[in-house]
Structure formats: C-alpha cells, structure tokens
C-alpha cells in the first residue's frame, strides 16, 4: 500500500532539492574574482559586466565616434594627438574603441593610452581585441602560460570584457569576440531582460562577426581570428539590427548581411597599419535612423608614418 507524503515532507524535499540545484548552478556558473585556472577565468560575468549603464539625456542626435586597431599609433605620439584632436572636434557623447588599443598589453602601453583618452570629455567604452587580452608573442607561438595574467590585466585596466549601455535611443551591447560563441551567447541571454526592444539594438565587437574567418586549432598563428565560426553565432543574435566592429579593415564599410527574414545593418570602423590612411567614424543616432560616415585624419606627407 502506498503511503501519502505529508505536505511538510514534500516541502522539505522540494526546498533541499531546489537549493541543491541552485548551489550546483552557482558553483558552475558564478564569476570567480581571483581565478587560478583558465576554467575559472571564463566562468560567469562580473558585476560591472552585468550592470547596465543607463544614460539619460535629451541630446538629439546622439553622436558617437568609433574606431579600432589603434595600437600602431603608440609609436607616433604627434599623430595620436591629431586623432584625439579630431575626435574632440566632433563633440561626441561617446567614444567607442573597438579592439586592439594596445599591442603587447603592458602597463606602460595602458598608461600611454589613458593619457590620450583623458583628453576626451566623451564617455569611453571598450570592446576587447585579441591584443588587449593576451601577450601577443606568447599567443602567436601557441603559448597560453600567462593567459590568466594577461586577461586580468585588461580587466584591471578596463573593468569588463562585456558591457551594456542604454540611452534614449539605443541599446549598445559590447561583447568579447575572443570568447567562444557559447560564452558570448550566454552573456546575451543574461542581459536580454534589461534590453529595451523599442530602441535600436546594436552589437559591438572588435572583430567582424559576419566574415568566415576563425581560428585553425592546428595553426597557433590564427589565434588573432575568432575562436568560433560565423554560423555558430549569427543565427542567435537576429534580434539585433546593427553589427559594428573595429577590426583592421583599413576602410570604413557599411552594408547589409542576410539573416533569416531580414538583413543586419553592418559597419566596419577599424584602421589598419602604419603607412595606411587613418580615419575615425562619426555615427549620429536618431530615434528612427542611424547615419555614419568616415572622417579622415590628416597626416603630414613627410611624417614617419608613411615610411614603412
């Protein structure tokens, strides 16, 4: 004969089962402040990453200057200052630096970068590039011995690898394109409840998410590419209309990329290398539209910049 469990017994069982599951999930997914292993390093997201910056303003339009791949300028202080001057001329609300702002991820490089960025009145936001999160020459030869130290250096300098910014017209979601697709998508799932779907949904990264370039596990020198393939990611972010990256394209690009029932509006805003033309991108955001155009940085023809 079956015995009927009392309500008290059922409650106690449910309570301990629920808490056991919660503890398991917490142990598996919660952020580890002082990671000792790579597994701990990539577990969860810190409070800064999960906290949405909300900017309340009546500014019309919202003006952004965006660019990426600026580390070549570290050896050319006069040109770097010229670029900062040009940003200041735009009187932007935000400056978005989308990857590879340092080369070797040293404290000295970060101090130099901050000395330039401190000249700006605009709010500055980052999406990390491969150089920013690594020690370049280690990864180039397939080593990851100091990966924790390198990534923590970026976190100490910036505070986050992911970020959400929301203002009167837009949701800006900055992601770490050096992570796995699973980890990026898990971040997006976490912050989805905070997004306002009546505003522009803009995804920003250091690398292009629509090109078919990704790492080859057998070739360590491809670590500068994404660790995931395009189709592992793009089908799951179709809520976003805009994709903007700062990879080293060398030319401003804006176009359309197909998604299941519509198109992504995509932009490339990154510079390239010493000797190439330099530019920043000015983006004006209105309630129902976004305008963007490149602005050239005038470099004197006799500058060492052109001596490759």
pLDDT at 59: 78
pLDDT at 18: 41
Kindly report the CATH number that applies to the domain delimited by 56-306: 3.60.21.10
Omega of the bond leading into 39 within 30 degrees of 0 (cis): no
pLDDT band at 98 (very low <50, low <70, confident <90, very high): very high
Percent of the chain surpassing pLDDT 90: 75
pLDDT band at 8 (very low <50, low <70, confident <90, very high): very low
pLDDT in tens, 52-90: 999 998 878 999 999 999 999 999 999 999 999 999 999
Distance CA 58, CA 225 (A): 39
Question: Is the torsion defined by CA of 110, 153, 268, 59 positive or negative?
Answer: negative
Distances (CA, A) of 75 to 79, 87, 110: 9, 19, 13
- pLDDT > 50? residue 1: no
- pLDDT > 50? residue 15: no
pLDDT at 33: 86
pLDDT in tens, 160-207: 999 999 999 999 999 999 999 999 999 999 999 999 999 999 999 999
Lowest mean pLDDT among 34-38, 236-240, 262-266, 274-278: 34-38
Per-chain mean pLDDT for the chain: 90
Strands of the sheet with 123-127, listed across from one edge: 123-127, 94-98, 62-67, 278-285, 290-297
The total number of residues written for the chain in this structure: 308
Distance CA 4, CA 246 (A): 64
- pLDDT > 80? residue 29: no
DSSP, res 270: B
- What is this structure's pTM? 0.90
Q: What three-state secondary structure class fits 177?
A: coil
User: Do the Cβ atoms of 140 and 221 come closer than 8 Å?
Assistant: yes
pLDDT band at 308 (very low <50, low <70, confident <90, very high): low
Q: How many CB atoms lie within 10 A of CB 25?
A: 10
């Amino acid at each position: 004969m079956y015995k009927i469990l009392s309500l008290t017994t059922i409650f106690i069982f449910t309570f301990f089962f629920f808490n056991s599951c919660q503890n398991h999930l917490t142990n598996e997914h919660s952020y580890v402040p002082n990671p000792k292993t790579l597994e701990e390093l990539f577990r969860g997201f810190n409070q800064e990453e999960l906290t949405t910056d909300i900017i309340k303003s009546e500014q019309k339009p919202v003006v952004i200057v965006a660019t990426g791949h600026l580390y070549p300028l570290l050896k050319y202080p006069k040109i770097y200052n010229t670029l900062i001057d040009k940003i200041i001329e735009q009187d932007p609300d935000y400056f978005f630096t989308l990857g590879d702002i340092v080369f070797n991820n040293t404290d000295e490089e970060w101090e130099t970068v901050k000395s330039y960025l401190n000249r700006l009145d605009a709010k500055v936001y980052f999406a990390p590039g491969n150089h920013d999160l690594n020690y370049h020459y280690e990864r180039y030869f397939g080593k990851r011995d100091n990966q924790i130290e390198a990534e923590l250096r970026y976190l100490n300098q910036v505070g986050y690898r992911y970020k959400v910014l929301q203002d009167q017209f837009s949701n800006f979601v900055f992601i770490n394109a050096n992570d796995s697709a699973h980890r990026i998508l898990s971040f997006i799932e976490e912050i989805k409840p905070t997004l306002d779907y009546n505003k522009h949904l803009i995804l920003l990264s250091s690398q292009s998410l629509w090109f078919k370039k990704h790492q080859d596990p057998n070739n360590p020198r491809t670590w500068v590419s994404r660790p995931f393939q395009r189709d592992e990611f793009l089908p799951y972010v179709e809520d976003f209309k805009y994709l903007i990256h700062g990879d080293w394209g060398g030319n401003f690009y804006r176009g359309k990329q197909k998604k299941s029932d519509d198109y992504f509006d995509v932009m490339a805003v990154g510079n390239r290398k010493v000797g190439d033309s330099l530019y920043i991108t000015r983006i004006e955001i209105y309630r129902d539209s976004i305008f963007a155009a490149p602005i050239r940085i005038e470099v004197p023809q006799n500058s060492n910049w052109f001596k490759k």
